[in-house]
Amino acid sequence: MIPNIVLQLKGLNKSFGGLLAVKNVDLLVNESSISGLIGINGAGKTTLMNCISGIYRADSGSLDVMGVSCLNWSPHDIARLGVGRTFQIPRVFKRINLIDNVMVPALNDNTDNKTLYERATECLDKVKLYDLRHNNAEELSGGQQKLLELARIMMFNPKIILLDEPFAGVNPTLCRLMIERIKEMREEGKSFLLVSHDLTSIYQLSDHIYVLNQGQVISEGNVDYVKNDPEVIEAYLGNA
């Protein structure tokens, strides 16, 4: 059975002034899978993420989310197509409590308050933040805020989730929890594009990996292939 393509980029380019940050990138993510995106600092990973979520308008190429071409769409239109996103520095709603934080994506739904509350607390429960549900988001540690972002994404229920450095600064126990949840969500049919420096987690999770260097995809394939690809090794260790 041919898997559905949830996200597809073809020939994506983005430059800032004279600097070509993303160069001719082809990338695709299938349904129910996790694609990793790795590369050294400055390779263009976050820029690419921003292009996909609409924060940056790419210069050229094509961007398709579930078959819908959305190259120059605004962030909220792209989000509404079913693209969720977390950020390197967590963007939680600081002065409201965790339950309300998680409820935000579903405020417009036609559900009654009870269902809304139960779904929200369930999401919090899954990331083990249930006991802190009445605390304000600003009272959480950085790692906990990342978990909160994850819970919020769960509530948002998108088809594809862009995770930007979800493990950075998070302690190993919480990391394991996140990895479990991500795997669960994959089983439920969600897709992920995961940017991380934590190669261990990426290798654990990814079905497919893209390696970015100087804005270009220099290698792609499954974990073993990428691990042993001489080009990748050189990019990470050598004279870029």
Min separation Cβ 187 and another protein, Å:
17
Q: Are 35 and 206 in contact (CB under 8 A)?
A: yes
Q: Which is nearer to another protein, 108 or 239 (CB)?
A: 108
Q: Say which residue the tokens 């995106």 belong to.
A: 37
Q: Which is nearer to another protein, 71 or 223 (CB)?
A: 71
Min separation Cβ 41 and another protein, Å:
17
Q: Which 8-state DSSP code applies to residue 127?
A: T
Give the tokens for residue 220: 């792609």
Distances (CA, A) of 50 to 19, 56, 69, 193, 200: 16, 5, 16, 12, 24
Q: Which is nearer to another protein, 92 or 217 (CB)?
A: 92
Spell out the residues 6+ positions from residue 239 whose beta carbon is closer than 8 angstroms to its own: none
How would you classify the pairing of strands 60-65 and 160-164?
unpaired
Kindly report the length of the chain: 240
Min separation Cβ 100 and another protein, Å:
5
Binding interface with another protein (CB under 8 A): 53, 75-76, 79-80, 85, 91-97, 100-101, 103-105, 107-108, 114, 117-118, 121-122, 125-126, 128, 130-131, 134-136, 139, 152, 156, 173
Q: Which is nearer to another protein, 172 or 230 (CB)?
A: 172
Q: Are 216 and 204 in contact (CB under 8 A)?
A: no
Q: Which is nearer to another protein, 117 or 236 (CB)?
A: 117
Amino acid at 119: R
Please name every residue paired with 25 in a beta bridge, in sequence order, or none if there are none. 12
Min separation Cβ 157 and another protein, Å:
10
Q: Which is nearer to another protein, 88 or 135 (CB)?
A: 135
Min separation Cβ 194 and another protein, Å:
18
Min separation Cβ 142 and another protein, Å:
15
